[in-house]
Amino acid sequence: MKKKIAIFANSWNFDIVSSFIKGYSETLKAAEADTFMFLAANSYGRPENNNRSEVSIHSFPNLNDFDSAVVFSQGLNSNEVRDYIYKHCEETGIPTFCVGDVHPGFHGLLVKTEKAMTELCEHLYTKHNVKRVAFFGGPEDNGDSNLRLQAVKEFAAMKKDFILDDKDIFFTNWEVRKCMEAVMEHYSKKENLPDAMIFANDFLAISASMALETLGFTVPDDVLITGFDYVKSGQTYYPSIATIDQCYDAIGELCAKSIIQIFEGKEVPEEQYVDGEFKAGESCGCINPRNEDQQRRQYCHSLIGKEYEMNARTGVIYGLRAAFQESSRFSTLPYKLQSVINNAFHKEIQTFYMMLDPTLERIGQEDPDILPQCKYVDKMQVVVSRRNGQVLKTGQNIHKREIIPEYDGEGPNEFYFVMPLYIDTFVVGYFVMNKTDVGIRDWVYQEYEACLTQSLTYYKTNIRLAALNDKLSELMQTDALTSLKNRTAYENMKTVLKNKYLAQDCTQFAAVMFDLNDLKKINDELGHGAGDIYIKSSSELICNTFKHSPVFRIGGDEFVAIVKNTDYDERFELLEKFRSEVERLQREDVPLINRVSVASGMADSDEIENEDIETMFEKADERMYENKRLMKAKRAEKQ
C-alpha cells in the first residue's frame, strides 16, 4: 500500500502553495505516495467564528494513519493552530517538515530572504536614489513580516541617508483595506510622500498603488513601491510589482526529495534553505525588466479560456447553491447535490466527495450554544462520491478516519484537497477534490468552499423554518388536555391510509372507536376538573392497552385507535383485555376518582367495502354503540 502524506496549509497564500505543489508533485512521482492537503481559508479580518471553523480541518486527520506531515507553519495565520499540529505530529512520531519554520525534532525548510531584501533596498538606494522609505507589514507579531522589516532596518543602519522612521512603519494584519486606509490617511499630500513604500506582500503593494491613484498620484512617477512573494497578479498588474520570489517551487522539490529519502531510510538535514530572489519591476521605476508585456499578452490570451472555465464552474456553483436553497430536509439534500455533481463534466469535479454529519438537522432543533463547537462527529454520511468521473456508492456512513470512501491506496499517486463545511461554529462535514492545474492557482478550491459554506447558511434557515413549521403543525394536531393527536391529525391519517390502500401499498390495520360513558353527568355533578381527570384516565387506559398504535381524541368524549404493527396481530386479545379492565374499574371497591367506563368497537381493514375506508370506521362506530348499549343494560340490571 502507498504511503500517505498530510499537508497543512492555508489557501489565502495560493500563489505560494501553488508554486510549492508544482515542485512537490513533480518530484514525488519517484515515490508511491498519496498526499492529503488539509486546506483552511482562515485569515485576518474574517469573523472569528468562521476562522475557528476553518481551522478545524487542521485537527481533523488522525496522524497515526499517515507516514509523514508537512506544515506551512507561517502561512497558517495562527500560532495556536501551528502549535496544535506540531504537538499532534510529536505525539505520533511521524517525520514532519516545517515550511518557513524550525522546530525541535522536525525538519525545517526555509527561504533565506535577508540577502534578497538587502538587494531590494540596495536597488532602490543605488539605482533609484531612494532616501526615505515607509514599510507596511502584516500583523505586528508575525515572524515573516518582522524579518522583512528587520532587513530594511539593518540596511538603513548601514546607509545613514536611507531613512526609515518609526512613524512610517505600519502593521496591516495582511488586510488590504487597512493598508489602503493607512496610505490615504498619512500620504494624501505630495510633500508627505516617501521616496518608496516597501510592502510585506504583493497584495498590499497592489492595494496601495490603487489608493495612491485615488489620491491623484502615480506609481512609480510620484513614489516607488515594492512587494513580496512574486504573485501572479503582481506580475501582470500595471505597473508590475518589484518583489522577492521565495522560490517555493524549489522548496516543494526539496520537500518531496527529503520525504523520499526518509522513506528509503536515509538521513535528512534538520534545516535546509533556499535563497529568495529579488525581481525588479515597473513599480520601482525599472522599464519592462521581466518582459511584462509578453506576460500580459499571454495573460490576456488565456482570459478567454478562463472565462469558459469560469462559466462552467459558475453553472456548477449555482447548482450547488440551488440544491441547498431548495432543501429543507436532510433526506432530500443528497439527491439534489448528486444531480449537480454527477451530471457536470467540468474537469475540476471529476473527482469530488462530500461527507456530512447525518445529524445535521440538529441545527434547526437545538440551541446553537449546545451544538458541538468546531468538532467533527466520528461518523459521516457519504453524500457525494465521484472518482475520475465514475459515480460511486453513496448513503453509507464512514468513520472520519477513512477520509475518502472506498480508499484503497492503490493506483497512481493522488493529491487530495480536504476542506471544511460548517454553519457558524457547527462543523457539519467536509468535501474533497483532487489536484488540477488551475485548482490552487485560480482559487478554484476556495471558490467551491465559499459557495458551499454560504449555501449551508441558507440551508440552516430552511431547516429552522421547517422545524418551526413541524412544531406548529404538531401543536395544531395535538389535544391540549391529553397530549394525544386531535381530530385534524385523525383526518390526515385517514387520508394517508386511503391513499395507501388505493395504491395497494398498505399493510393491514384496524380501527377501534371509543366513547366515554357518563362524562356529562360527572361534569354536572362533580365539576369539569373531575371530568378532565376522567378523560385523562380513560385516554391512559386506551394508550396502555394499544401501546404500538396511534390514538386520537376526536371529540370531547370520543377516541379512536388505528391498530397497527404487533397490536394488529393481537387486536382481538387487546380489545378483550381493554373491556375486562373497564369492567374491573367499575367495581364498587375502586375509588370513585379512578373509575372509568368506556364503550368500544372494532372493525378490520378486510371489511372495507367498495374501496372506501370510511365503511370500516362506520362499522367500528356501530359496534362501539352496540357495546355501549350492552354496558348500559348491565348497569340497569345491577340497579
Check residue 476 and give its pLDDT: 86
Query: How far apart, in whole angstroms, are the C-alpha atoms of residue 286 and residue 297?
Result: 19
Q: Is 20 in contact with 99 (CB distance < 8 Å)?
A: yes
Residue in 170, 4, 23, 37 with CA at minimum distance from that of residue 445:
37
Query: How far apart, in whole angstroms, are the C-alpha atoms of residue 83 and residue 67?
Result: 20
For the chain, the first-to-last Cα distance in angstroms comes to 89
Cell numbers given for 10: 492555508
Check residue 535 and give its pLDDT: 93
Check residue 143 and give its pLDDT: 83
Check residue 454 and give its pLDDT: 87
Q: Which DSSP string corresponds to 156-181?
A: HHHSTTSB--GGGEEE-TT-HHHHHH
Q: Is 432 in contact with 404 (CB distance < 8 Å)?
A: yes
Alpha carbon distances (Å) from 459 to 320, 321, 423, 462? 11, 9, 9, 5
Residue given cell 520601482 in the structure block: 284
Element (H, E) at 32: none
- DSSP bridge pairs for 558: 515
3-state secondary structure of 240: coil
Query: How far apart, in whole angstroms, are the C-alpha atoms of residue 177 and residue 211?
Result: 10
Domains of the chain (ranges, CATH numbers): 114-245 (3.40.50.2300), 487-638 (3.30.70.270)
Q: What is the DSSP letter of 478?
A: B
Query: How far apart, in whole angstroms, are the C-alpha atoms of residue 57 and residue 61?
Result: 8
Tell me how far the alpha carbon of residue 290 is from its chain's centroid: 42
Query: How far apart, in whole angstroms, are the C-alpha atoms of residue 332 and residue 117?
Result: 56
Check residue 240 and give its pLDDT: 96
CB atoms inside a 10 Å sphere around CB 479: 18
Residue 165: HSE in the Cβ half-sphere, 13 Å Cα cutoff: 8
Question: If you count them, how many residues does the chain have?
Answer: 639
Answering whether pTM is above 0.85, one says no
Cell numbers given for 198: 516597501
Q: Is 52 in contact with 427 (CB distance < 8 Å)?
A: no
Check residue 440 and give its pLDDT: 57
Residues of the chain with pLDDT under 50: none
Q: Is 538 in contact with 596 (CB distance < 8 Å)?
A: yes
Residue given cell 461518523 in the structure block: 379
Residue given cell 512521482 in the structure block: 29
Query: How far apart, in whole angstroms, are the C-alpha atoms of residue 522 and residue 243?
Result: 93
Query: How far apart, in whole angstroms, are the C-alpha atoms of residue 578 and residue 512?
Result: 11
Check residue 151 and give its pLDDT: 96
Query: How far apart, in whole angstroms, are the C-alpha atoms of residue 94 and residue 573?
Result: 67
Taking only the tens place, the pLDDT of each residue in 554-588 is 999 999 999 998 999 999 999 999 999 999 888 87
Check residue 639 and give its pLDDT: 63
Query: How far apart, in whole angstroms, are the C-alpha atoms of residue 590 and residue 541?
Result: 15
Residue in 596, 578, 586 with CA at minimum distance from that of residue 637:
586
Rg (CA), the chain: 36
Residue in 398, 347, 383 with CA at minimum distance from that of residue 459:
383
Task: Spell out the residues 6+ positions from residue 114 whose beta carbon is closer than 8 angstroms to its own.
Answer: 147, 151
